[in-house]
Every structure is written in structure tokens, then in C-alpha cells.
Structure 1
Amino acid sequence: MKKLVFLLLTFVFAFGIERSFLPPNEAFKESFETNNNSLIINLELGKDIYLYADKVSVKIKKPEQFDLTKELNIKEPVPYEEFIVHFYNLEIEVPFSLLKSKVDAKEYEIEFNFQGCSKAGLCYAPMTKTTVVKIPENVVAKTTVSSVDNIDSTDLNETDTIASSLKDGNFFIVLITFFGFGLLLSLTPCVFPMIPILSSIIVKAGQNEKLTAKKGFFLSLVYVLAMSLAYTIAGVIAGIFGANLQVALQNPYVLTVFAAIFVALAFSMFGYFKLELPQSLQNKINKTTEGREKQGVFGIAVMGFLSALIVGPCVAPPLAGALVYIGQTGDAILGGAALFVMSLGMGLPLLLIGLGAGKFMPKPGGWMETITKIFGIVMLAIAIWMLDRVLEATIVMYLWALLLLGSAIYLKVYEHILIKLITLVILIYGVIVFVGAVSGATNVLNPLEKFTSGKTIAMQQNELVFKSVKNITQLEEAIKSSNKPVMLDFYADWCVSCKELEEITFKDEQVIQKLKGFTLLRADVTANNQDDKDLQKRFNIVGPPGLIFWDKNKKEINAAKIVGYKNPKEFLEIVNKHF
């Protein structure tokens, strides 16, 4: 009788446990998708389910058998108990060009293998899923385009090194390090446009009341915290989902709207109207004793958030390293924290500006009105600077000329000798820029470039010539046909650092001489379409600028990969080391 009861209890217990586990079709939900260039394998894991890393494989079964696993970009696994596992959903891209390089066929049977377990203790049997893929006729065999996950640790570039330090470093040391990265980035063009924006906000706040150092610092802190929050959210989204929010917002419609906002702010500073929240919202906020102050804080926070996303979409090695780490591990907590403290480091100069402005700001009165109007002109300059990413260079030159001439006329009403002198200089330069625009010049800092004909012809003869590539197929064909080392430049019209590379680094004589021995390719990702995204994803480029190199044997030199702006000296140090 006791044995019978024991067996019955064992059966009930086992049945109850079994019922608590997910069935295989819920624990593992696989799907196959195709685009113009690749097969995408998606595997969605159920709650508390993980995969054994060594059991994940992708193979060609027909027309011939090949194991593709080591040549694919698969998220890096993590240690768990005594195993190496994947805890997160997998998205594996299988390029058609890779299939073609193994066996030349029009149709392939692809096999996807995996095995996983539940944290509760149940291990599922190994599973195999297959699909048949038909590829377009224009696909060519894959050249050597490596993935970061398959690169030896001794061959890391700057971005990969930073991503690796996130994996291996102490949490607090990582945060301190990224704060230091932020301080360095604060000296780059990423932050420069935010200085006049914040300064104008502080000037506006000081129009009607005395601005103390404490108040100036507080306003700056609100702006910097909102900016840091935006960078963090955009970074985590880019790392996990592969969608760079900052890049997505660099389209003509968004930039035009934001430029219009700066124009409205400028005319508000000129005194033509007053920008305020809707009356209904003001009434709700003003029910508290600090209503007016909260309105200002809210507006500053919104401006800080939007400025980070739209005004300064810079990509630098620390940012790229954090995004690569988040994308490979799914660890949004450490990656997001690193991005947040990095953004605080970037915002430190802005905090100092707020503190200084609050201490040295003139008292409300005539001087304050003059400063406010000058910052209105600065707001118009920022609007033109943003439209430079959307409009033709010649049109932008005319806008700069009109702004300079208009500013000179506008400031002429002031009698102070210093302002009169500044007005005269602005007027003369405005005339020069207008003449330059008529001549076809495109650089506001060098408006008379067309009149120095001898120098211009010499420079044109010595300029670097890039061949455009639109997608992965064109890139691979260009690499395959080259008998020289290859450099691929990821560029976008809205990318400030890209233009720095173009105007400074790529116009340096030593750099030009070095790159004359390369096949130069350029992927213009301004449109951010699917081909652009596929190209960037192939090389873990989260946004331009990015430079990828191959040697004469068509082998990608990962250690030479450059993300972000490098001056001529830094650029040559990297290239000379590998070529």
C-alpha cells in the first residue's frame, strides 16, 4: 500500500512539474525572412529559456554541405553555471553572397540547429529547422568581409577594445572611464552647437530677474540631464534593436522643423512675440506656487532632450563601443549607465557655462536686451547650420550672406563703439560671402575660393576621388575587382564629423599621398534606407563616420577600423601601422 501511495505521489508530482514547463513550440519560436541580400533567421526564446552556444549552427544542406556558423555575426554568448549560453533572442543574417561563395547555385536548403534549456531544470532535445532559399541572379560570391565576433582578440580596433572593456571591467571603473571619455568628447563638435543654445536659454531667463550662480547652474543641470537621458535612450535602442534613433531623426523633415523652431526662438528674442505653453497647461502648472519656474524647467528639459537627438548626432569610439556591447550581450543596464555618465562628462562644460553665466550675467536692463538680441542672431545661425544638412551648399551660402548683412543692419542701431566695430566687420564679411556665393563657392569659411584659381586647380588635381557603393553587392564587386588596398568611407550629409574628415583629414597632403595607393569607396548613408542599414550592420557601424580597410589580398583589417573623426596625424598613425 505504501509503495502504491509513493508511486501515485511521484506521478502527481512529475505531472505537475511537467505542466509548468513550456512546450517546445512556445519555448523556441523560429522564423525565416529574406530581403534583397540576405536570409534572416530569427529565434525568439520563451521566459527563462536559454540556448547552449555550441549547439547553435547554420549549415548549407543542399546542393552541397557547408557549415557557415563561424562566418556569421552571432551575438556573443555569456557564461552561465558551467556553460556558455545565449539568454536573448537571436537574429542571424546569412548573406546570399556567402552562400554563393561556397557553392554556385540558384537555390539552397539551409539548416538551423539549436538546443536549449529552461532555468527551471528541463533540457529540450536538439532541434533542427530548415528552409529553402532562392537568391537573385545578380548576387556575386562573398569576398573577405569579416564579422567582429570572429576576430582574434589581438586584432581589436579602438571600438572593439572599448566594448571588450565593458565586458571584462569592474562596474564602477567602467563608469569612471566613460565619464572620462565624455570629458574628451566635450571638446568635439558634438557639444559646440549646444553651447549657444544653452547660453541663449540662460540669457532669456535672466531678462526679467537677477540670475544667480546657483540658478544658472540649476538651469544648466536640467539641460544636461535631459541631454544625457536622450543619449542613453537612443543608445540602448540602437544597441538592442539596431535602430539608431539619432540617425533616424536626421531627415529633411525633422531638421527643417527643428530649424524653424530656432527661427521662432530668434524672433522671440528680438521681441516680436513671446513663446509660452498653451494657456490651459499654464493654468494647471500655475496652481502651484512655483508654476512659472516649472514652466521654464520643462521647456529647458525638452530643448536639452531634442538637442541631443537632432543637433549633435556624433558617433565616436566610446559611443560605438557601448552600442556594440549592448548589441552583443543585451546588457542594457551597464551599457546604458556607461552612456549616461559619458553624456554627463560631455555636459560638464555646459554646467560650467551655467555657473559662470549666473555669476557674471549683467543685471536686467539695456545691456541685457542687447545680449538677448545678439543671441537671437546666434539662433538664426544655428538654424542655417542645421539646414546645411538639407539644402544645397550654394543656397546655404546665400543664407549666411543674408544673415551677416541683416545682422549688420540690425545692430547698427546701437551706438556703443565696440558694437559699431563688430557691425562693420560683419557687414564686410557678409559682402564677401555674398560675392563668394555668386561665384559658386560652397564654404562660408573660405568664400573667395573660386578667385584663387591657381591654387584651386592644383587642389582639384590633388583631391581624393571616391567611388560610390550603394549596397553590399556593389561593395563586394568593387573589392573583388581591386588590385590595391581598399578603404570604405561611411558618409552622410548631416554628419558633422564626416565633413571634418572631408575638409581637414582628406585634404592633408600627407594623407592624400598615402591614400593615392588605395581604392577609395564611399557609402553615402544620408538617406538611411534599407541598403544603408544593411551595409552599416555588416560592419557594426552604428552611424557615420566610419572607415573600413582591406589589404591587397582582400582581407579585412579589423584593427585598422576607424570610427569617428581623426585628425591627419591620428589617421596616418593608424593607417601606417597596417599598410
Structure 2
Amino acid sequence: MKKLLLILVAILTFANTNAQIVKPVKWTSKVEKISDTEFNLIMQATIEKDWHVYSQYTPDMGPLPAEFKFENAKGNYELIGKVKESPYKKQYNDVFEVDEYYFANNATFTQKVKIINPKLTTIKGSIDFQVCKEVCINDNNVFTFSIPKMVLETKEAVAEAPVMEVPTADTTQVETVAVDTTKVKEAVAISPTETPKKEDKKGLLTIFFLAFLGGFAALLTPCVFPMIPMTVSFFTKQSKTPAQGKRNAILYGLSIIIIYLILGSLVTGIFGAEALNELSTNVWFNIIFFVLLVVFAVSFLGAFEIMLPNSWANKVDRQADRGGVVGILFMALALAIVSFSCTGPIVGTLLVESASKGGIAPIVGMLGFSSALALPFMLFAMFPSWLSSLPKSGGWLNTVKVSLGFLELALAFKFLSQADLVLQMHLLEREVFLAIWIAIFGAWALYLFGKITTPHDSPLTHISVGRLSMGLIVLAFTVYMIPGLFGAPLKLISAFPPPQTYSESPRGFFGNSSSTDSKVELPEGAELGEHDIITFHDYEDGFAYAKKVNKPIMLDFTGYACVNCRKMEINVWSDEKVLKVLKNDVVLISLYVDDKRMLPESEQYISKETGKTVKTIGNKWSDFIITRYKTNTQPYYVLTDLNETNLNQPIGYTPNIDEYLAWLKDGVGKFK
């Protein structure tokens, strides 16, 4: 009896430590009838505490977005629009510098369909999604929706549809170019730890502040600055009393703000918050944004002027003569039209940048811009004596305009870079991007020093202290970027250029000649991975090499879209003692469970564990971890000997360096 109890305890212990298949998301589905031929297919997720599922609108270089697929080979029904989502939360990922859109606790997805075949009884669909906490899981769920029979005749009520639970091994059934993880290898998913509402407010405040600076810059252009004394003079002469002048000045400033707020509202209203998020991650819209900003930049540099028709200004100006509140409103509109050649490119850039953030960001951006633009007009009209302190108009206004042109041109390449990253064309790798920026900012410095002139510049007899100071700042920034060509991280601008891995030489131009480790001839099938660790991405190649050098194997089950995997590599593996063990004492095999590259047909198979077809490299390693180690989470680390026996208990996310180092040394010690 005692032996029996001991055996039972051993079995339970084994089950507890090895049966680690985690399913933090439970799905239900139902069909909601709209009409005799139209239905809503509703998919609802219940998410365990602290876990997060990511939106289908999550930006590139972020977590893997939810992806939907519906089986409709025979054209039995028509999908109406895209899948709609319940409101998601947004949080900035400071590791990879992207916003994340995610759901906590629950989520609802709705797809509207129109039935074409009246005999259709079921619709099958699936969702591929990522769910993260301290670890990440790439999961898939299949739905079967029951459609009432005789659709064109019946008045049946809403039908509840059964849900088919699917094992978590098949993580890459849907192939979508926009989020191909073999193309965007640094895409990550983070388990948020801060309050999303605070992050949203922080993001909007940043947009407001940048837009406010943009408004101030517009104020210092040749189209706007000279209008300040003209406008102030109008109010002081037309107003019967000082109090009336101040009131009119305030109304004028508010009118400017209202006009630009209407513009921001139109952008948000026409496209919608979700559409703006989608546009920001779309390849072709990023290319369009690039072209737009280049046009704006060339305009500011003096090649041509972007102007609205003169007839518009004349008509609005006539309305401004009416006086009263209506007249003041039309005066503000006249300012917007007349100054468009200078403010248009700035407003356009702000709308493009804020639209990429989605939500009400365009409205907030226009509020910041218009506030900076309106405030001086209001203040100088209220206190005319301040006008004497204003600098006189002159060539310096064109200098401001040209400087904005250089900034517009530099920002344009950010959008082109995003498109190139998604398409993986490798036309704008990190070194090329930095070379372009160095050229742009270097030319700007030369311009500020008077070595380059543009068509509308006044003759420069001397350089002012302000212009010289600005030139030195731009020159210093240009010099700062040069080491980035050779592998420097450039933390000040890390959000703009492509990541280090997306470059001609991921370890810098001199990486292969200056690094002691990189001089070593790489084994067949290996490459220099994170921190120049010799890394295998195929189990058989790594296992063969481990036998050859008689070292233990460290299996690293990871994912391109796993932020905690990246955190371990950046923060823990970089430790001197940990790195020494990884480089010298083990053979590292990193297996990516979200690698969407297809396996050759001869290597595809049906999983004995899950019963699903293993089609991709990621499927293969996902099936491997589930079959052998009874888990589906990443990161997951296993130390084995050359007989494929575990040297110690595998571990997952372990941010404590001492704990991770102790685990490594324990396994290596047992091997020896």
C-alpha cells in the first residue's frame, strides 16, 4: 500500500511539472440575425487575468495581430466589411518602441455576412491570435456557426453555435503578408504592466506638445509672421474701446482654433479611428505618406509653393468685412487660406503623423497646432505695446522655412522605412537610412553656415549668433549619427532607423574583423546570434555539432513576436557571466515557433499529438515542444545531454540573472 501511494505521488508530481499546456483564452460564438439574408458572426473571448490578446490592428514591429479566415470556397456567402472589434486598450512598448493594441479580460469580434446560397447551414472560420503574460502563446481557434435553414424564407431566432476547441500547436495556419514574421523578425509582444489610460494620455500629450511646436514653427514662417502686426493693427483701429479690442482678439484666436479642430475632426470622422490605425500599418499608405512629405519638403526648400486658389481668399476676405462674430470667424479663415503655402505642409505632416497614432490623435494634434498659432495673435492684440519687442521680418523667416523643409525630408524616410520593413525588400536597411539622414542633416548644417543657399534666400553678409548656434547643434547631431553606420545603437533616435538586425552588417561594418568570436569559423548550419553566440536554428544540425564538441545542448524555444524572449536576450544573456556560459559551455539551439516559412511538402506531416497538419517551420517546433515537453509557452529553456535527457528542470521567463546563471551552471555541472 505504501509503495502504491509513493507511485501515485510520483505520477501526480510528474503530471504537475510536465503537463503545462496553457490555454488562457476560452472562446464562444453565436449567430445574430439581422435580416433573412444577413447575419453577424460573433466570436467572444474570455481572457484569464493578466493575459492579453492583441488586436488585428496592432502596428507592424509589434505583437502578432489577430488574423481571421473564413472558409468560403464555393461562394456560399459574402463577407461584408472587415471583422469589427470591441474597444481595445493601447500601451506603448518601450522595448521595441511601438504602440500595442490589446484586449484584457474579454474581447468580442463581429463579422457581418450576406448569405448567397439559401441551402447553406454552416459557416466555418478561424482566428490565429497571440496571448501574452510573462510568456507568449501563439494559438488558433476554429468556429462553426450554424445558419438557420431556408434563409430566404425562415424567421428563426438567433442560433447559438458550438465552438470547436483546437490544440494550441498549430500557430501559423493563416498566411498574411502584412505580418509575416519571417519578414519582420523583431516584431514583439509585451505583457503590459502600466495603466493603459495613463499611456493613452501620455501619447496624446506628446502629440499635443509636438503639434504645439509645429504651430510655433509655422508662426515663424514668411507667410504668417508678418501678419501679426497687420492683424493687431486692425483690431486696435476697428475696436471702439480697449475692452472690445481684447474681446475681438480672443474671438479671433478661438476662431483659428475652431477652424483647425474642424479639420482634425474631419480626418478622424472620414476615416474612423480603426481605419486610421490600419492605414498607419499599410504599406501603400506609408509610401503615399513618404511622397507627400517629400513634396512638402521640396516646397519648403523653395522649388514651388503649395497654394489654395486666390478666389477662395477673395471670397472669404469679402465676408470678413461684415464685422461682428461672423466677420472675425471669416478673418481667421482668411488667415488659414492666405498662409496655406507655409502652414499647409506643416499641417499635412502633423495630420499624417497623428493619423498614424489613430483615435482622436488628429483632433489633439490640430488643437496643439492651432493653439500655438492663435496665442500670439490674441496676446499681441490684447497688449499692443508688446509689438515693439518683436523682431523685424527679414531673411531669417525664409531660413526657418527651409529648415522645416530639411526636417520634413528626414521625417519622410521614416515612412518609407516602415514600408520597406514590411515588404522586406532590404532597399532601406539601417546603414542606408542613416547615410540618408547624415546627408540631409549635414546639408542643413552647411545651409545654416551659409555654404548652401536656396532660391528665396536673401544675401548673407554675416551669420547671426542664433543661426550659428543652430548650425552647431545640427552639425553635432550629424556627427553623432556617423558611428551608427558602424554598429553604434544611437539611442537618441532609436525609434526612427530600422533595427540593427535589419542591416547589411548586424554587428557593424567592422564586426567580422574586430570581434574575436566572429573570427572563428562557424559550424555548418550555425550563425552568429545575439551577442555573437554561435546559434543553430535547426535541431538536427545543433545536435550533431554538440556530439562533435561533446557539450550539453540548450534548447531555446522562442518566437519573433515574443517580447520576453527579447528581454531575456537583451538583459540576461548580456550579463558577462551568463554570456560566458552560453558561448563556451553549451550548444545553443534557438527554435522559433512562429516561423511562417513553409516546409517542403516531403517534410509536412500530421501531428500525432494534435492531429493537425504541420506545414511550416514554426508548426514543426511548436509541435516539438508540445510533444516532448508538454508545454506551449515561450520563452522556454531546456538543458539536455547528448542522449536528449534533461539535465535539470526546464525553465521559462527568468529575468533574475543570478537565478538564471545558477540554472545554467547546475545543468552544465551535471553534464560534466
Give the TM-score category using the shorter length.
Answer: 0.3 to 0.5
Larger radius of gyration: 2
Between Structure 1 and Structure 2, which shows a larger proportion of helix residues? 1
